[in-house]
Amino acid sequence: MASADKTKPSSALSLPVSVVVLGIAFIYVSTVFVFIDRWFGLLSSPGIMNAAAFTALAAACALTYRAAILTDPGRVPSTYAPDVEDVHSPVHEIKRKGGDLRYCQKCSHYKPPRAHHCRVCKRCVLRMDHHCIWINNCVGLANYKVFFISVLYAVIACIYSLVLLVGSLTYDGSQDEEKNGSSFRTVYVLSGLLLFPLSIGLCVLLGCHIYFILHNKTTIEYHEGVRALWLAEKGGSIYKHPYDLGPYENLTSVLGPNILRWLWPTGNHMGSGLKYRTIFDQGASTPK
């Protein structure tokens, strides 16, 4: 999976990415130097502990966000060709059950299972989930795990910041209000307007991807599956997602077999992205 280790050039910077970076910086500064300082005092033991914990969490969020931006999601090798003689190789669109070979007219080469063409990146992406404007990159084979972890850290950071915001509001700082009332109110209003909808949106996004991981689906496959389910019910048959191998196997296929490294942003266990186990395989081995 050498191609998946390549990084995107500096053009990964965009307006949405800049907005996210500024948002992270604002939330960090307001949380540490306003909420924590006003509630506990930065030089007190609780203040130091909370500031250190939130700083570590913000750093993890920022680093995984950067990795999601810069990691190439996975390129289809130029030499890739489906093995039509391998009866166990899913060279056909599984959702079509015996349709034509998967061929991309725009890239002029065959597509492996679960690969899709991105109109924004103008190329096929291995195990493509979706194109995300907030990272100015596709989410695919090589960066899906780090994208998921980044969202997880962001949710924890937002909830943590909200707790500190609400807690600091209970602080009776009448002298501080007299001296800095206007500036404090501005920070609290802006933080509340940012944190509340952001927390809700990120929680919904995290919940969706937890569901996708447990069912071994990408966002694209989920929407395709809704239509496939409707067509199956209309035809009197039962639709099953071909890559759903059970919750535990689905989970380890994305986060890795070692539970101690589930929150570590590595994806070497994902394989080449050219072949995947399906529910139709009999005694199939791990994809290569």
Q: Is residue 283 part of a domain?
A: no
23-60 residue pLDDT tens = 999 999 999 999 999 999 999 999 999 999 999 999 99
Residue 173: the pLDDT is 54
Q: Is residue 180 part of a domain?
A: no
Q: Is residue 115 part of a domain?
A: yes
258-276 residue pLDDT tens = 898 898 887 677 788 888 8
Q: Is residue 245 part of a domain?
A: yes
Residue 79: the pLDDT is 86
Q: Is residue 68 part of a domain?
A: yes
Residue 232: the pLDDT is 57
Q: Is residue 268 part of a domain?
A: no
Contact 114, 126 (CB under 8 A): yes
Q: Is residue 95 part of a domain?
A: yes
Contact 158, 25 (CB under 8 A): no
Q: How many domains does the chain have?
A: 1
178 burial (CB, 10 Å; 0-12 / 13-18 / 19+) is exposed
Among 3-17, 86-100, 272-286, the range of highest mean pLDDT: 272-286
- Residue 142 and residue 174: Cα distance in Å, rounded? 52
Taking alpha carbons only, the member of 131, 160, 135, 168 closest to residue 40 is 168
Total Cβ atoms within 10 A of residue 122:
9
Residue 240: the pLDDT is 79
Contact 125, 132 (CB under 8 A): no
* Domain extent for 230: 15-174+185-261
* Residue 135 CA to its chain's centroid (Å): 10
By annotation, the residues acting in catalysis are 132
Mean pLDDT over 58-82 rounds to 93
99-153 residue pLDDT tens = 457 889 888 889 999 999 999 999 999 999 999 999 999 999 999 999 999 999 9
Q: Which residue has the tokens 């191998």?
A: 245
pLDDT over 90, % of the chain: 57
Q: Is residue 279 part of a domain?
A: no
Phi, psi for residue 75 in degrees, rounded to 5: -105, 145
Contact 146, 265 (CB under 8 A): yes
194-217 residue pLDDT tens = 999 999 999 999 999 999 999 999
